[in-house]
Amino acid sequence: MSAKELNKKDSAKISPAKQRISLIGVPTDIGASHRGGSMGPDALRVAGLEQALRSLGRDVIDRGNVTGPVNPMKPPTDGYRHLPETIQWNRAVRDAMYSTLNSGEFPVLMGGDHSLAIGSVAGVARYCKERGKNLYVFWLDAHADFNTPKTSPSGNIHGMPAAVLSGFGHPSMLEIGFTTPIIEANHIIQIGIRSVDAHEKIAVVEKGVNVFDMRQVDEIGMRAIMEKALGLIPRKNAHLHVSFDVDFIDPTIAPGVATTVSGGPNYREAQLCMEMIHDSGLVGSLDIVEINPAFDQNNKTAELAVELVESIFGKQILARNPFLAQL
């Protein structure tokens, strides 16, 4: 799709329905390699997420936190760390996401580690199936998160959610979904990827995940990547879920995450990504995961995440009039 065609389509959708935004805290690091992600929801609250979205004219309600078991800090069993606890958290997340969407609100999951995307996407997928909507997921991340217990050295489930969503993982994790797979692998669109284990390199290609790695961003730029990524989504009856792992961003500006990887999008590239997600008018639910305040500096990573999320909800540098933009 050319830039001109994209602009035309976007201008018709520049004012998405102003649903109330529902913030859902999920304070756990049950699936992570390091402790501290459980403080993520409060880091986003302290950084002013609710107020920032209100200042964009949105009605926002903070629903408090979903609850679940404490992190028992156990070693892996049969290739998984904390499998029963992770399932318990994810069932609660799934039900919270589903009921929020069902009541007409826009759910924003404040994690928590990325294993929570299993429950989050499962809840969104159920809603979409019942409404006849075609679900696509943007997976903004440094990692492909496509491990299975056979291939994961650590057994940390936050390295596995994209595989589980596509139907690969422990049966009791697949059961979090109402269908198997929870979403077809080719409806997962990964952007910013730069740390992929040897077997994952093969698995994501074999299973048909759409991966835009950092080399592609280097070669053709974020604008072209986002045009391609958005071009994969049919415009009719589509629901876009954005699963935003904050380690997507370059660690020089976002150090407060569980697993940093050099060479991520810089500030403007990340902003452009979010602005183009907004302009598509397709986004209907969001995860913000992997912020780890224990590794942060004065909460700057949560503050940056808030700025980026503002752009997903339409904050712009100028009052861009789609008609003036054509001149």
Write down the catalytic residue from 247, 250, 275, 303.
Answer: 247
DSSP letters along 165-176, please?
HTT-S-HHHHTT
DSSP letters along 210-269, please?
EEEEHHHHHHHHHHHHHHHHHHTS-SSSEEEEEEEEGGGS-TTT---BSS--SS---HHH
- Segment near Mn ion (CB under 5 A); pick from 44-52, 127-135, 239-247, 249-257: 239-247
Which residue in 114, 207, 239, 241 binds Mn ion (CB under 5 A)?
Answer: 114
Whole-number CA gyration radius for the chain: 18
CB nearer Mn ion, residue 245 or residue 279: 245
Hey, what are 71's tokens?
């992190």
Note if 141 is an active site residue. yes
Angle (nearest 5°) at CA 103 between 97 and 104: 95
Note if 158 is an active site residue. yes
Q: Tell me how far apart the alpha carbons of residues 67 and 163 are, in angstroms, rounded to a whole number.
A: 25
Note if 245 is an active site residue. yes
Q: Quick one: three-class SS letters along 32-45?
A: CCCCCHHHHHHHHH
Q: Indicate whether 141 belongs to the interface with Mn ion (CB under 5 A).
A: yes
Give the DSSP H/E element, type plus range, for residue 285: strand 283-289
Least separation in angstroms between CB 154 and Mn ion: 14
Write down the catalytic residue from 10, 141, 213, 296.
Answer: 141
Write down the catalytic residue from 50, 85, 145, 279.
Answer: 145
Least separation in angstroms between CB 307 and Mn ion: 20
Q: Indicate whether 50 belongs to the interface with Mn ion (CB under 5 A).
A: no
Bridge-based pairing of strands 106-111 and 210-213 is unpaired
Q: Indicate whether 245 belongs to the interface with Mn ion (CB under 5 A).
A: yes
Q: Indicate whether 29 belongs to the interface with Mn ion (CB under 5 A).
A: no
- Segment near Mn ion (CB under 5 A); pick from 31-39, 43-51, 140-148, 201-209: 140-148
Q: Tell me how far apart the alpha carbons of residues 79 and 204 are, in angstroms, rounded to a whole number.
A: 20
Q: Indicate whether 287 belongs to the interface with Mn ion (CB under 5 A).
A: no
CB nearer Mn ion, residue 265 or residue 314: 265
Note if 42 is an active site residue. no
CB 290 within 8 A of CB 158: yes
**Amino acid letter, 41:** P
CB nearer Mn ion, residue 50 or residue 141: 141
Least separation in angstroms between CB 11 and Mn ion: 33
Least separation in angstroms between CB 141 and Mn ion: 4
- Segment near Mn ion (CB under 5 A); pick from 58-66, 83-91, 118-126, 244-252: 244-252
Site residues (vs Mn ion, CB under 5 A): 114, 141, 145, 245
Active site residues: 114, 141, 143, 145, 158, 245, 247, 290
